[in-house]
Structures are given as C-alpha cells and as structure tokens.
Amino acid sequence: MKSMPRYAILANPASGNLSMSRRYALLKKAADLLRADIHGLDTASAEAFSQCAREQAERCDVLVVAGGDGTFSLAINAVETPSTAMAFLPFGTGNALTYALGYRGGTEAIAARIRAGRMHSCDLIDCGGRKKGFMVSLGIDGAQIRRYEQYRRRGYGGLSAHIRAGLRAYFQDYRPTGAWITVDDASRRVRRLTSFMVVKQPFFGMGLQAVPRACWSDGHLHTLTLASGLPGIVGGLLTGFTVGNRCGDYRRGKTVTVKLNAPLTLQIDGDVGWSANRFTFSVLAGAIRLKY
C-alpha cells in the first residue's frame, strides 16, 4: 500500500475575516484529515511568513498553503518550485484559485479533495525575473486594488466592494495611457489602455472568468487587452460572471513585452506590485506541482 504523503499546513494569520479561534478551529479540521501540523500563525510579516514557508518545504512532501491568492503567491516565491509540491486551502475572500481549481464546499471538503487529489504539473508567469505569478495585469487593476483595500479596512467586502472600488478607480484614479504590446514577435499599438492581463488560469477574484481560454499547463501565456473604456469593462463583467468574458483582444504566446507611454502599476496575484513604463513576461513551463 502506498504511504500517505507528509503534509504541512502553512497558514496566513491575516487572510479572510475570521477570528483567530475560528481560523484555528477550521485549520485543525483540515490538519486532522491530512495528518499535518499547522505553521505560520505566529508570523507577523511577509518576510517571516516566507522564511516559515522555506523551512517547512524542507520537511514535508506537500506544502498546503492556507490563505488567499496573495498568500499563495508569497509562498511560491519563497520556496523552490517545482521541487516543492504544493496545495491551496482557501481562507481569503473571493479567491481566483478557488475557482481555477474547481473547489467546492468548506475547509474539510477541500482538505479531503487535496488528500484524494493527484499531482498536476502547472506553469507560472515570470515577471521580468523579479517575481513569479499566475495572474498579472496592468491598467485600472492596480488602482482598483488600492481602493478595495481601503474598503476592506473599513469593514466592507465581497462583490459589491469590488464593484464600488472599480467604479471609483475608473472615474477618479486611473488615467489611461498608450502602449505597444508584443506577444512573441507580433506587436500591436493600444492608444488608451484600460486593462492588460497576462494569466495562466481563467479566473480573477470573485469567480470572474476573465480569460476563458487560459490553461494552467499548455506552455503558453494567455493575454487579454481591454481598450474600450467603461463599455468594455461593463461588458467584460457581465459576460465574465456568466458565460465567460467575451470582450477584449485575446492572444497567446511564450513571451510578452509591454512598453507604456506613462508608468503603470503591476497587479500580481491580487496584490499591488511595482510601477514602470516597461514590463516583460515569459512562461515558466512546468514550474510548479499542484496537488488537487
């Protein structure tokens, strides 16, 4: 009989809107199913969490990251992938990965799914050699995330907070700029960029199927350009939350270069990255092993 892999749960103490006692109770149920210890709840910074991830990755067969999209992103940038097998246990709000992995049910059901699941070889996005990710974007997204964080700190959340943040970002914060976008060797000019996405899976937060043709394991980057202002945003939201986004210019390739007329801020896996007027992306084929 094949022995059960050694699991370790790496938990973000700040993900989601849960008290520590409630968070621990849910984690304990998952830990019992996976015969795992729980780590990370005593970390107080991203640096400490990353160090904990590196330490636990050396002691287990599968590192189960409990948190949101940003927590998982922090972990994949802390450990050696693909040598470290990983799994995702959602604890944030509206996580893209919850939808991308087809999860259903609560914490116990997902832990059982991880235990019974198989290993998948998946690709990641190299962001100019500075960071790895699974969904990045330029344009209004950075401004929207900043607004959403303001709402979240005031106790608001969910889809309505995302929509309110997006509207305020569009009308008050974001200033469209021109861009040249090159996918492999094909360049296209965009006069007023609303949003440019580079992804390895179809979903953004709250179940928005932004790039329906994206695939974890096909060795390509999947890109979508929105340049039609508010009508494109509304159309993308309406179709993205129903049948899958039908708006924008879709392309795929191995490498992507974006040259901007004015600096924009990069969004990486639901968090704000850095600002620049030039970005490069390339596919990291088979860069991570995911168990689900």
For every residue of 201-226, DSSP letters joined together read SSB-GGG-BS-TT--TTSS-EEEEEE
Contact 177, 194 (CB under 8 A): no
Which pLDDT belongs to residue 75? 98
- The verdict on residue 184 lying in a domain is yes
Nearest to 287 by CA among 7, 80, 137, 10: 80
Residues 263, 205: one domain? yes
Residues 84, 182: one domain? no
User: pLDDT, tens digit, for every residue of 172-200?
Assistant: 888 899 999 999 999 999 999 999 999 99
- The verdict on residue 290 lying in a domain is no
Q: By mean pLDDT, which of 65-69, 163-167, 236-240 is the weakest?
A: 163-167
Mean pLDDT in residue range 117-126? 98
Residues 91, 14: one domain? yes
- The verdict on residue 96 lying in a domain is yes
User: pLDDT, tens digit, for every residue of 250-285?
Assistant: 999 999 999 999 999 999 999 999 999 999 999 999
Mean pLDDT in residue range 88-94? 86
- Whether the per-residue pLDDT at 29 is higher than 70: the answer is yes
Residues whose CB falls within 8 Å of the CB of residue 47, separated by 6 or more in sequence, listed in order: none
- Whether the per-residue pLDDT at 72 is higher than 60: the answer is yes
Q: By mean pLDDT, which of 175-184, 204-213, 224-233, 279-288 is the weakest?
A: 224-233
Share of the chain above pLDDT 70, in %: 99
pLDDT band (50, 70, 90) for residue 141 = confident
Considering only residues 270 and 74, tell me which one the structure prediction assigns the higher pLDDT: 74
- Whether the per-residue pLDDT at 19 is higher than 80: the answer is yes
Choose the final residue of a domain: 66, 82, 117: 117
- The verdict on residue 64 lying in a domain is yes
Which pLDDT belongs to residue 261? 98
Choose the final residue of a domain: 77, 93, 117: 117
Q: CA quadruple 189, 192, 198, 201: dihedral positive or negative?
A: negative
Overall pTM surpassing 0.75 (yes/no): yes
- Whether the per-residue pLDDT at 92 is higher than 80: the answer is no
CA 74 centroid distance within chain = 10
Residues 13, 79: one domain? yes
> What tokens appear for 292 in the block?
């689900």
Residues 163, 138: one domain? yes
Domain at 203, CATH number:
2.60.200.40
Residues 67, 202: one domain? no
With residue 274 as reference, give the H or E element that holds it. strand 271-291
- The verdict on residue 210 lying in a domain is yes
269: left (phi over 0), alpha (psi -120 to 50) or beta: left
Contact 125, 216 (CB under 8 A): no
Residues spanned by the domain of 111: 7-117
Residues 174, 263: one domain? yes
User: pLDDT, tens digit, for every residue of 147-175?
Assistant: 887 877 787 777 777 778 877 888 888 88
Which pLDDT belongs to residue 1? 53
Q: CA quadruple 39, 205, 117, 133: dihedral positive or negative?
A: negative
- Whether the per-residue pLDDT at 132 is higher than 80: the answer is yes
Query: What span, in angstroms and rounded, lies between the C-alpha atoms of 241 and 189?
Result: 28
Which pLDDT belongs to residue 277? 97
Find where tokens 């830990």 sit: 31
Residues 266, 151: one domain? yes
Residues 108, 185: one domain? no
Arithmetic mean of pLDDT over the chain: 93
36: left (phi over 0), alpha (psi -120 to 50) or beta: beta
> What tokens appear for 233 in the block?
């945003």
- The verdict on residue 225 lying in a domain is yes
Residues 140, 274: one domain? yes
List, in sequence order, the alpha helices (H) in the chain.
Answer: 20-34, 46-57, 69-76, 96-100, 107-116, 140-153, 158-168, 229-240
Q: CA quadruple 192, 251, 270, 262: dihedral positive or negative?
A: negative
Which pLDDT belongs to residue 242? 86
- The verdict on residue 123 lying in a domain is no
Which pLDDT belongs to residue 240? 85
Residues 108, 15: one domain? yes
Choose the final residue of a domain: 62, 89, 117: 117
Q: Is 101 helix (H, G, I), strand (E, B) or coil?
A: coil
Domain at 105, CATH number:
3.40.50.10330
- The verdict on residue 170 lying in a domain is yes
Residues 137, 236: one domain? yes
* Number of domains forming the structure of the chain: 2
Considering only residues 26 and 243, tell me which one the structure prediction assigns the higher pLDDT: 26
